[in-house]
Chains A and B, each alone.
Chain A
């Protein structure tokens, strides 16, 4: 279904430069950046790439502006951060999530955007402007957004149950529950259940959330990320939280699988945004690229491939009704009002999260002692072998 729409949109966009904004931005970039190559670093599988008749966004951009794109991909915000901090690579456009945008901007790792070069920013909806993670809207332009919801197997779990995060603690489903394998998302679920903010710096609240996760641990089958799809599809697991943008494929393919966004406590609302890292050598070309992605035609074609939601009403209008009416993609405002976005936390809190997460996954602080004991055991064994060999050799010599 998705691919078909994309094909249609691709045909429309490729045919003519429909919107005046896109035409003007194209020509302005052409004057000085033609022939330049920009390094774009995005999430894996996060752009329409021209397979199966979809629009090849990067090729289309090169065609319009003469700017070439060296496109590479990463898997997590943290690996993006380490790559940037390592200094081994120079990127011109990156797509960090909300809390990573604030972390990068606080650490001075982002360039201020020149919105003169991004006229298509006008299409970004009001509610996505000046977000909590970038209050002045100086560093980022939203690319996609979505919410976290729950996959459930309709054969065993009732839809009403999944309207609260409580279901992930239900003993009835012990061994059939999956959890996110990353601390911020996993803690987030516990925090919402407790009614705390995701961005609290209160040590007690984080510890309470950790206690809740430890309580849940015996019920959890596994902490995983993309394996959630296989485990849900095969019926190996019955309940799993995941990002809404990726949910529709599985729900469409397997009639036993449903997806709900917990309305009782609210959920995490996330944005992936386009930014320019500090030291970019082709800033105006990078801005032309961001501008191009904001063109409603391109945004619609691109997002119908990706599956997440667009932050532009103009682009939303170009998408078919069955997508825009689907509450997985575009949940009602009442849910959005209850949901909250991640922002970057102080270093002290981040360290606390890391150690609490390690405790949750490994089961208690007592483990350090066990680790030391095991290491000592190995060392003793090693020494014993060395001594034994040495004595044997000595005997042979005699």
Chain B
């Protein structure tokens, strides 16, 4: 039985990580063309080409810029929203508010994308500007918001509702009470929400496609290559992104285990939040 469960676990991890491993392997392929099935020696040529390819770099810059800004803005707005929903009086009001915020998550992306495009086209005509970074940013913030609210809300529910009042009784101003008592309690949820928003924004193709105007993000660029073969430069780029995220995770972990007990506790809480 134990053997079977071990085999099962191995297979699961193999399925999860084999594609990434193949991608990393082929980013070092020395094939002068774009072979994805024959490995003909180690080379860094695709990495060199990646950093020479202005189009990919512009698309990458757009993607990262939008992801960071969308994550920051939607986390702030989402946290405020979650606290607001939580403090609504009456079960019905809260439930209705939650259902309204959850709706965009189940709405098909293509519907969201097309409807946003229609709205933006009208709005931009009136303002006499074009779709572009601005509309992309608004769209990304909009579809990230529900996910942030969804990950902050449980932390608010777990928190003792009277802590905030207790802090004020002990002499905190409302602002101090929020930053010193409420925020640390819900921080794991906020971090989870921010990470989720960031990755969702990097991922998104459908909504970006409709709202991007003449700017281009990485998913759109990669998709546009499908008439020909997708260049191994993309393998190289994906490998770099993977390595950067791995390094970030590593640094965060080291910092947390190295510093005070308080952060360790926070980390535990964060992990709990992510599960």
Q: Are A51 and B32 in contact (CB under 8 A)?
A: no
Assuming A73-B224, A230-B36, is B231 touching A45 (CB within 8 A)?
yes
Q: Are B214 and A41 in contact (CB under 8 A)?
A: yes
Task: Tell me whether A246 is interfacial, beta carbon within 8 Å.
Answer: yes
Q: Are A91 and B214 in contact (CB under 8 A)?
A: yes
Q: Are A86 and B210 in contact (CB under 8 A)?
A: yes
* B contact residues around A3 at 8 Å (CB): 32
The CA-CA distance from A220 to B54 in the complex, in Å, is 39
Q: Are A250 and B33 in contact (CB under 8 A)?
A: yes
Question: Range of interface residues on chain A?
Answer: 35 or more
Assuming A246-B228, A250-B33, is B223 touching A75 (CB within 8 A)?
yes
| B41 CB, min distance to chain A CBs, angstroms | 14
Q: Are B36 and A75 in contact (CB under 8 A)?
A: no
Closest to A54 in B: B52
Contact of A75 among B54, B121, B227 (CB under 8 A): B227
The CA-CA distance from A252 to B31 in the complex, in Å, is 11
Task: Tell me whether A111 is interfacial, beta carbon within 8 Å.
Answer: no
Task: Tell me whether A88 is interfacial, beta carbon within 8 Å.
Answer: yes
The CA-CA distance from A323 to B230 in the complex, in Å, is 23
* B contact residues around A39 at 8 Å (CB): 214
* B contact residues around A252 at 8 Å (CB): 33
Q: Are B54 and A88 in contact (CB under 8 A)?
A: no
* B contact residues around A116 at 8 Å (CB): none
Assuming A71-B55, A233-B38, A253-B33, is B228 touching A44 (CB within 8 A)?
yes
Q: Are B120 and A75 in contact (CB under 8 A)?
A: no
Which residue among A45, A50, A226, A249 has the maximum number of chain B CB atoms within 10 Å of its CB?
A45
* B contact residues around A169 at 8 Å (CB): none
Task: Tell me whether B204 is interfacial, beta carbon within 8 Å.
Answer: no
B interface residues, tally (CB under 8 Å): 39
* B contact residues around A205 at 8 Å (CB): none
* B contact residues around A45 at 8 Å (CB): 225, 227-228, 231
Task: Tell me whether B35 is interfacial, beta carbon within 8 Å.
Answer: yes
The CA-CA distance from A128 to B3 in the complex, in Å, is 69
Task: Tell me whether B104 is interfacial, beta carbon within 8 Å.
Answer: no
Closest to A42 in B: B224
Assuming A230-B36, A233-B35, is B54 touching A50 (CB within 8 A)?
yes
Task: Tell me whether A15 is interfacial, beta carbon within 8 Å.
Answer: no
Task: Tell me whether A76 is interfacial, beta carbon within 8 Å.
Answer: yes
The CA-CA distance from A43 to B223 in the complex, in Å, is 11
Task: Tell me whether A359 is interfacial, beta carbon within 8 Å.
Answer: no
Q: Are A50 and B53 in contact (CB under 8 A)?
A: yes
Task: Tell me whether A234 is interfacial, beta carbon within 8 Å.
Answer: yes
Which residue among A72, A90, A230, A253 has the maximum number of chain B CB atoms within 10 Å of its CB?
A72
Task: Tell me whether B200 is interfacial, beta carbon within 8 Å.
Answer: no
The CA-CA distance from A249 to B231 in the complex, in Å, is 13
Contact of B120 among A52, A73, A88, A250 (CB under 8 A): A88
Task: Tell me whether B216 is interfacial, beta carbon within 8 Å.
Answer: yes
Closest to A234 in B: B37
* B contact residues around A74 at 8 Å (CB): 224
Contact of B130 among A50, A72, A89, A249 (CB under 8 A): A89
Assuming A43-B224, A90-B130, is B35 touching A253 (CB within 8 A)?
yes
Contacting residues of chain A (217-275) with chain B, CB-CB under 8 angstroms: 225-226, 229-230, 233-234, 246, 249-250, 252-254
Task: Tell me whether B267 is interfacial, beta carbon within 8 Å.
Answer: no
Q: Are A253 and B230 in contact (CB under 8 A)?
A: no
* B contact residues around A90 at 8 Å (CB): 130, 213-214
Contacting residues of chain B (84-132) with chain A, CB-CB under 8 angstroms: 117, 120-121, 130-131
Contacting residues of chain A (44-85) with chain B, CB-CB under 8 angstroms: 44-45, 49-52, 56, 58-59, 70-76
Task: Tell me whether A87 is interfacial, beta carbon within 8 Å.
Answer: yes
| A227 CB, min distance to chain B CBs, angstroms | 9
Assuming A43-B224, A76-B227, is B54 touching A89 (CB within 8 A)?
no
* B contact residues around A43 at 8 Å (CB): 224, 227
Closest to A230 in B: B36
Assuming A233-B36, A249-B34, A253-B31, is B225 touching A87 (CB within 8 A)?
no
| B63 CB, min distance to chain A CBs, angstroms | 13
Task: Tell me whether B211 is interfacial, beta carbon within 8 Å.
Answer: yes
Q: Are B32 and A253 in contact (CB under 8 A)?
A: yes
The CA-CA distance from A208 to B224 in the complex, in Å, is 33
Q: Are B37 and A75 in contact (CB under 8 A)?
A: no
* B contact residues around A249 at 8 Å (CB): 33-34
Task: Tell me whether B176 is interfacial, beta carbon within 8 Å.
Answer: no
The CA-CA distance from A397 to B80 in the complex, in Å, is 37
The CA-CA distance from A17 to B224 in the complex, in Å, is 33
Task: Tell me whether B142 is interfacial, beta carbon within 8 Å.
Answer: no
Closest to B50 in A: A51
Closest to A3 in B: B32
* B contact residues around A225 at 8 Å (CB): 226-227
Task: Tell me whether B17 is interfacial, beta carbon within 8 Å.
Answer: no
Contact of A44 among B37, B54, B227 (CB under 8 A): B227
* B contact residues around A234 at 8 Å (CB): 37
* A contact residues around B224 at 8 Å (CB): 43-44, 72-75
Assuming A86-B121, A89-B131, is B214 touching A229 (CB within 8 A)?
no
Q: Are A226 and B226 in contact (CB under 8 A)?
A: yes
* B contact residues around A86 at 8 Å (CB): 117, 121, 210
* A contact residues around B38 at 8 Å (CB): 233, 254
The 8 closest A-B pairs by CB, nearest first: A44-B224, A73-B224, A44-B225, A72-B216, A51-B49, A234-B37, A89-B213, A253-B33
Seed contacts A45-B231, A75-B224, A249-B34; 12 additional CB < 8 Å A-B pairs: A3-B32, A49-B53, A72-B221, A73-B216, A73-B221, A73-B224, A75-B225, A75-B226, A86-B117, A90-B213, A91-B214, A253-B31
Could you jot down 6 A-B contacts, CB within 8 Å? A45-B225, A45-B228, A72-B216, A74-B224, A88-B213, A91-B214
